[in-house]
Amino acid sequence: MNHSNQNPNNTICLICSYTISPFMNFGRMPIANGFLDEEKFHSEYFFDMEVALCDNCKMFQLVNQPEPEQMFNENYAFFSGTSKLMANHFKDFADHLISDYLKDKDDPFVVEIGSNDGIMLKNFAQKGIRHLGIEPSANVAQVAIDQGINTIVKFFDKSLAEKIVLEHGQVDAFIAANVMCHIPKINSIIEGVKVLLKSDGIVIFEDPYLGSVKEKTTYDQIYDEHTFLFSIHSIMYLFNQYDMEIINVEPQESHGGSMRYTISHKGEKSINDNVSNQLRYEVNAGLTRVDSFSHFKENCEKYRTSLLALLNDIKKRGKTIAGYAATSKSTTIINYCGITTDHLDCIYDTTPIKQGKFSPGAHIPIKPHYEFKNNYPDYALLFGYNHEREIMAKEQEFINQGGKWITYVPEVKII
Ligand code: JHZ
Ligand code: SAH
């Protein structure tokens, strides 16, 4: 196995260095967005995907993981702008930030990390608000740059924060979506935030929420890029180390259940009651105790068995199945459940860089979405369930022609 490791002895928490022990192993996993050509099959990278919950700081984390440069580079396959739903979501995010925190400021300055193709920052750029994106994956960053969105092609860390302060001054808002949980050296990110943020500045970020993953058994949110699944408890511990505090938390529907955290330097702003309410919820939901995840593990195993049994049964009846949307999440489902080219003929997807390649690990062909209507299968396995409304609306004809969708969240069923 081609195996690099962020955490060589497998037992040290990435946040607080406490001893951790993995409670579940999903097996050998490839890079979730590592769509590849046939000639690369023999050199494909795999790692052992195990998860742990730290008893001290309560952070849910991967125990092993590829190096960031292996996942985020000039061939990165996830372009944020592929979803209309998410474009609207980020417009609302930007409007909320402007009206609640920036509108009375003189020449406000916003920095976003993981700005990707500019899906969020374009809402600031269009209003003439000073902004800067930090995005290490050069291909997605170029899409933003081509639209006139100021972007630095680098990984964010403390030394970059110091350079930004020298060149542009401190920021009024530091924002991030679906990237904080991707960064193994997260302590160095918070050190950078500490340097970058004005005394009355605000940090707002959102990521998939551990509470939703546990409640809905959306174990497909666990893959190489997601080093962490955050809770209010773990985020509180993380920022408290740097004299910062959570002042609000707001659950979001995006990506199957996310949480938005608003954070400031300690003592600068009043704290919303949502924070203590959500902390109470987390204790009751068992998010702070590793023993309460044994039920989650059983559910993962149960859903794996029933999804595979359903696909096997459909194939025994001589019917065809295709995947729909080659999401990062699908890499976990396919490889953990043992789904192969015997089950799925192909996966249809809208992303040009994925089309014509093969899925990570199982090597299922990826075909352009527009070919779906010419080759309707009997069943389509919906890997993009978080985009269900958008996808169902545009693929109504598939149902009209007698096609059936298979979904697995929160349980395996035909719809
Ligand atoms: P989607 C990515 O997850 C990766 P993914 C990352 N780690 C993360 O945290 C979140 O995003 C933010 C396809 N699609 O959004 C296009 C269709 O084919 O669930 C993409 O390949 N037809 C950063 O990959 C994929 O789905 C459609 O109509 O799980 C994106 O999937 C739509 C709407 C999407 O993110
Ligand atoms: N914010 C967008 C993109 C999320 S994808 C959205 O929610 O849709 C995660 C992005 O974070 C990728 O584009 C990746 O290249 C970037 N990224 C990963 N590590 C980073 C780091 N240390 N600093 C800045 N960006 C990073």
Structural contact between residues 339 and 333, judged by C-beta atoms closer than 8 angstroms: yes
How remote is the CA of residue 34 from the centroid of ligand 1, in Å? 14
Which residue among 116, 190, 254, 259 is best mutated to probe the pocket of ligand 2, counting the most ligand atoms within 8 A of its Cβ? 116
Q: Token pair for residue 210?
A: 């551990």
Q: What is the mean pLDDT of the chain?
A: 96
- Pairing type for strands 60-62 and 46-53 reads antiparallel
CA of 350 relative to ligand 1 center, distance in Å? 10
219-255 confidence digits (pLDDT tens): 999 999 999 999 999 999 999 999 999 999 999 999 9
The protein residue whose alpha carbon is closest to atom 12 in ligand 2 is 114
Alpha-carbon span 359 to 6, nearest angstrom: 24
pLDDT of the residue at 410:
80
Q: What is the DSSP string of 6-66?
A: SSTTS-B-TTT--B----EEEEEEE-TT--B-GGGGGG--EEEEEEEE-TTT--EEESS--
pTM of the entire predicted model: 0.96
**pLDDT at residue number 128:** 96
In 3D, which of 340, 382, 386 has the Cα closest to residue 363? 340
Please name which of 240, 250, 253 lies closest in space to residue 275, comparing C-alpha atoms.
250
Identify the CA nearest to 280 among candidates 231, 213, 218, 237.
231
For ligand 2, mutation pick of 135, 140, 175, 193 (most atoms within 8 Å of CB): 135
Ligand 1 centre distance from Cα of residue 86 (Å): 10
| Closest ligand 2 atom to 134 CA | 24
Which single residue is written with the structure tokens 């995907």? 49
101 lines ligand 1 (CB under 6 A): no
* Residue 286 vs residues 165, 207, 208, 326: alpha-carbon distances, Å: 41, 19, 17, 32
Query: Residues of the chain with pLDDT > 70: what percent?
Result: 98
What pLDDT is stored for residue 10 in this prediction?
A: 61
Using the atom order of ligand 1, give the atom closest to the CA of residue 354. Answer: 21
Q: What is the residue with the minimal CA distance to atom 10 of ligand 2?
A: 114
Mutate to test the pocket of ligand 1, among 209, 387, 392 (most ligand atoms within 8 A of CB): 387
Coil, strand or helix: which one is 92?
Answer: helix
Ligand 2 pocket, Cβ-based, cut-off 6 angstroms: 68, 72, 76, 78, 80, 86, 113-114, 116, 119, 134-137, 140, 155-156, 177-179, 182-183
The number of the ligand nearest the C-alpha atom of 177 reads 2
Q: Is the pLDDT of residue 7 over 60?
A: no
Q: Could you give the CA distance from residue 203 to residue 188 in angstroms, rounded to a whole number?
A: 15
Q: Is 250 exposed, middle or buried (0-12, 13-18, 19+ CB in 10 A)?
A: middle
> Could you identify the atom of ligand 2 that is nearest to the CA of residue 72?
15
Q: At what angle do helices 158-168 and 186-196 cross, to 10 degrees?
A: 20
> 96-135 burial, b if ≥16 CB within 10 A, otherwise e?
ebbeebbeeeeebbbbbbbbbbbbbbbbbbeeebbbbbbb
Q: How confident is the model at residue 5 (pLDDT cuts 50, 70, 90)?
A: very low
- Distance from Cα 405 to the centre of ligand 1, integer Å: 18
Match 């049964």 to its residue by tokens.
313
- Kindly report, residue by residue over 63-112, the tens digit of the pLDDT: 999 999 999 999 999 999 988 999 999 999 999 999 999 999 999 999 99
Whether residue 11 has pLDDT greater than 90:
no
263: which 2 tokens? 């954070």
Please enumerate in sequence order all residues whose Cβ is within 8 A of that of 184, keeping only pairs 6 or more positions apart, or say none: 6, 14, 65, 68, 227
The number of residues making up the chain comes to 415
- Per-residue pLDDT tens digits for 174-226: 999 999 999 999 999 999 999 999 999 999 999 999 999 999 999 999 999 99
User: pLDDT band for position 46 (50/70/90)?
Assistant: very high
